[in-house]
């Protein structure tokens, strides 16, 4: 889902590479469209999410994210893996939806420029405000 929103979050002066025949070109990233094969985070299978989170954590470390952020996100996924809701009917689906929403909100909070501390993503809450509050756990 994040990739599907890419064109709304890129500045107009950012560029990406495009290959046309044997020529490599630069083109504005704002004109780049995400793949039609992108699967929204909440529609991933548990296995797909597990693979994606391992890649995400690896690349966060490789690109110099602050260690406390990486640790908090790793703890978040560890707590999801062992959460008792997983044993319930549709438990994985509920937790996949939860992780998609909470992770997105956490990343948005990190982008915020104010000096307030970001919420602790590793703490799994029993319910969330809209849209999950009606079907929380």
Task: Say yes or no: 11 and 70 in one domain.
Answer: no
pTM over 0.75: no
DSSP readout, 41-69?
GGGS-HHHHHHHHHHHHHHHHHTT--HHH
Task: Say yes or no: 31 and 51 in one domain.
Answer: no
Task: Say yes or no: 34 and 45 in one domain.
Answer: no
Report CA torsion sign: 8, 13, 14, 16: positive
When divided into structural domains, the chain yields a total of 2
What's residue 81's pLDDT? 94
Task: Say yes or no: 57 and 119 in one domain.
Answer: yes
Mean per-residue pLDDT pooled into runs of 10, the chain (137 residues): 48 66 70 73 91 94 93 95 93 92 91 81 72 42
Task: Say yes or no: 67 and 114 in one domain.
Answer: yes
Task: Say yes or no: 14 and 76 in one domain.
Answer: no
102 vs 96: CA distance, rounded Å:
10
Task: Say yes or no: 68 and 32 in one domain.
Answer: no
Provide the residue range defining the domain that includes 55: 41-134
What's residue 111's pLDDT? 85
Task: Say yes or no: 25 and 48 in one domain.
Answer: no
Task: Say yes or no: 107 and 60 in one domain.
Answer: yes
What's residue 131's pLDDT? 40
């Amino acid at each position: 889902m994040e990739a599907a929103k890419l064109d709304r979050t890129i500045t107009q002066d950012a560029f990406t590479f495009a290959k046309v025949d044997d020529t490599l070109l630069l083109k504005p990233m704002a004109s780049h469209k995400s793949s039609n094969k992108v699967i929204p985070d909440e529609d991933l299978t548990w296995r797909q999410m597990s693979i994606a989170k391992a890649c995400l954590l690896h690349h966060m470390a490789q690109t110099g994210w602050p260690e406390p952020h990486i640790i908090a996100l790793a703890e978040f996924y560890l707590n999801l893996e062992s959460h008792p809701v997983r044993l319930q009917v549709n438990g994985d689906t509920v937790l996949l939806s939860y992780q998609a929403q909470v992770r997105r909100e956490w990343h948005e909070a990190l982008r915020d420029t104010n000096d307030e501390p970001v919420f602790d993503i590793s703490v799994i809450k029993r319910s969330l405000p809209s849209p999950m509050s009606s079907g929380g756990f």
